[in-house]
Amino acid sequence: MTGNAEGTNGGEERAETEVASNDRRAVVAKRVDDGDADLTEISQLAAAAGYEVVDELTQTRTEDAAFMFGEGKVAELRDRVCRADADAVILDNDVGPYQTFNIGGKLPEGVEVIDRFTLILEIFGQRANTRKAQLQVELAELRYELPRAEAKASLAKRDERPGFMGLGEYDESVERDIKRQISEIRDELDSIADKEQARREQRRDSGFDLVALAGYTNAGKSTLMRRLAAEMDVDENADRHPDLDTTAESQDMLFTTLGTTTRRAEMEKRDVLLTDTVGFIADLPHWLVESFESTLDSVYRADLVLLVVDASESVEAMREKLVTSHDTLYERNEAPIVTVFNKVDRLAPGELADKRAALSGVAPDPVAVSAKTGAGVAELRDRVESELPEWERERLVLPVSDDAMSLVSWIHDHGHVADETYASDQVTVDFEAKPSIVARARSKAAGLASAESA
């Protein structure tokens, strides 16, 4: 997530996809200060939450303190709701509780008013099928409610009455209870994060490099992951490494992947674990991003990040998403970032070169691929291996023994053996590996030498 959102416990890493049934009808609306309002993303979000978008309304004007939109526009909104027999109005704006109450008062009884962030939280709630995901959604909901609770408490005190602008009774204990719940959830998420960090270090100690996929939702991250994991035609139920999970589903739907999915990627030399996580979306507030901080740790703590961008979008949309993604990633991420222009199969001849040139300032050396067709994926694999932290080269001469053969096997499992030569009484192993692996191999070799001389 961005703008401005690993596994939790073994096989629970993956949040299963739930396909929305679209059995609710909604009118989507948006107000902008200037220019033209774009309802594309809010309509996709509505569909992801299970709504059928039956009408749209936009307005360009300054914000109205009471209604967000102008009063006349709210009347038009009511008429559209009635004609479409809609169950809800979804507003692509950050609407205050007072504005929400006023708009709802102008609509037919039973029609729900939902703002952008409430809709996103609803989607997250539908996708949250692990304890960690459920905790993060609950945390986000509480952080969303807290300032509203504080505002209600403040106004109730000022007015010396228990209500808030007609929104009903309010008890100050609600605010205290929200803060208590936030603290308890943070403690549990910290405990989960500690276990996940230990798990990441265990994977590194086993010789794996950790690569994370990042980018806006619908950029094709899950499809790219399947391609890199060489699973396009692989039986999902086939035997696999017990520590890893099936890859994320690939669907044209926002938030197909809410949690994280980790799979072993197919590389020439390096052992790579690739993690796909929740997609970024635009204009998310800081409190919502913070709620999913532990999910983003799989990106922040990776050895390399692949920032996936939909190359079929306009240059302006690509630039905006790249800038926002960089702002989010560079805030805490220390790993190299490789930009991946995906969906190049949708581009006309010459279009890719034009986009490379136009975006060179924010994506100086992107890798162009089509996760769908496989074009450019071989080049991406090479780029991943070249961008990962450098390995050390080592040459060990070992006495021929059962323990030495065990060490040679261990080196094969944790690094890349360039040459292995046997003589009558010794074996020479020339290999590359992570510095930590090389250090452990040297230590094991020294132990063998000491045992041999004793």
Please give the annotated binding residues for Mg(2+), written as ranges.
Answer: 222, 257
* CB neighbour list of residue 158: distance below 8 Å, 6 or more residues apart: none
**N-to-C CA span, the chain:** 59
Three-state DSSP class for residue 238: coil
Cα–Cα distances in angstroms (integers) from residue 266 to residues 193, 270, 284, 451, in the given order: 27, 9, 34, 38
Tokens at residue 384, please?
């991943």
Could you list the residues known to form a binding site for GTP, using ranges: 215-222, 276-279, 342-345, 370-372
The helix/strand count (H/E) of the chain reads as 14, 13
CA gyration radius, the chain: 27
- How far apart CA 452 and CA 220 sit, in angstroms, is 55
Q: With contact defined as beta carbons under 8 Å apart, do 35 and 41 qualify?
A: no
Contacts (Cβ under 8 Å, ≥6 apart) of 402: none
**Is 86 in contact with 57 (CB distance < 8 Å)?**
no
Among residues 170, 120, 169, the alpha carbon closest in space to that of 150 is found at 170
Residues flagged as binding site: 215-222, 257, 276-279, 342-345, 370-372
Give yes or no for a contact between 38 and 48, defined as CB atoms under 8 angstroms apart. Answer: no
Q: Measured between alpha carbons, how far is 63 from 94 in angstroms, rounded to an integer?
A: 11
H or E element that contains 327: helix 315-332
Phi/psi of residue 207, nearest 5 degrees = 95, 5
What is the C-alpha separation between 162 and 169, in angstroms, rounded? Answer: 5
Pairing between strand 208-215 and 261-265? unpaired
